Amino acid sequence: MEGSAMQEAKVKSPEDRKVLDRLLEERWLSGLWNVQAEERPLDPKTTVKPHIWKWKDVYDGLLLAREAIGIKSGTVERRNIRLVNPGLQDRKLTTHTMLFGFQLIQPGEVAPAHRHTMTAIRFVLKGKGAYTNVEGKKMIMEAGDLILTPQWTWHEHANGSAKDEAILFSMHDTPVLQAFGLYREEGQGDSHIGL
Ligand SMILES: [Fe+2]
């Protein structure tokens, strides 16, 4: 019986390592002896950089988005501006484990229902008469309140005020879910969650 290319290969000495490496590479294998020293750091390395996001920039952006970005199911579900770490520009994340953003809801608006595998922590900066509806549980949002939205629960945000805008600071564990291949998001079209 004919031997395989690997069986017939002449790999007898350290000088033949390139032959061995090529044979392995062709079979989607790799010797751990090729790991470089820089791939085995002695201390944890991160690309995340210290950064300060100025509230004025965020708020000015939200005011501009107020006119330009309409909340409508199927197009934009949330008028949210996220904080992008200069070290994670390609992924547009705030840190390697968290995604932060600010959301503005105009008087009379209802941000459509959706659910996702990320958990959300919401800190209310402004709001009078606004509420978030989490699976039928109405939670009034007033400045200083903290609201948690567990993973995979339907939720929508509404602003029942006639004149006051609502602003939320939202924190999501999106990058963690992405790392585990568990990130999912689902919308509910134009229908709303009952109260
Ligand atoms: Fe959400």
Whether 105 and 159 have beta carbons less than 8 Å apart is answered as yes
Per residue in 118-130, pLDDT (tens digit) is: 999 999 999 999 9
Q: Which amino acid is at 103?
A: Q
186 CA → ligand 1 middle, Å = 9
For every one of its 195 residues, what pLDDT tens digit does the chain have, with 9 covering 90 and above? 567 888 888 888 989 999 999 999 999 999 999 998 888 888 888 999 999 999 999 999 999 999 899 886 556 789 999 999 999 999 999 999 999 999 999 999 998 899 999 999 999 999 999 999 999 999 999 999 999 999 999 999 999 999 999 999 999 999 999 999 999 999 877 778 887
Per residue in 29-44, pLDDT (tens digit) is: 999 999 988 888 888 8
181 CA → ligand 1 middle, Å = 18
- pTM for this one? 0.83
77 CA → ligand 1 middle, Å = 9
Domains of the chain: 55-187 (2.60.120.10)
155 CA → ligand 1 middle, Å = 7
154 CA → ligand 1 middle, Å = 8
103: Cβ contacts below 8 Å, ≥ 6 apart: 78, 79, 80, 81, 111, 157, 167, 168, 169, 170
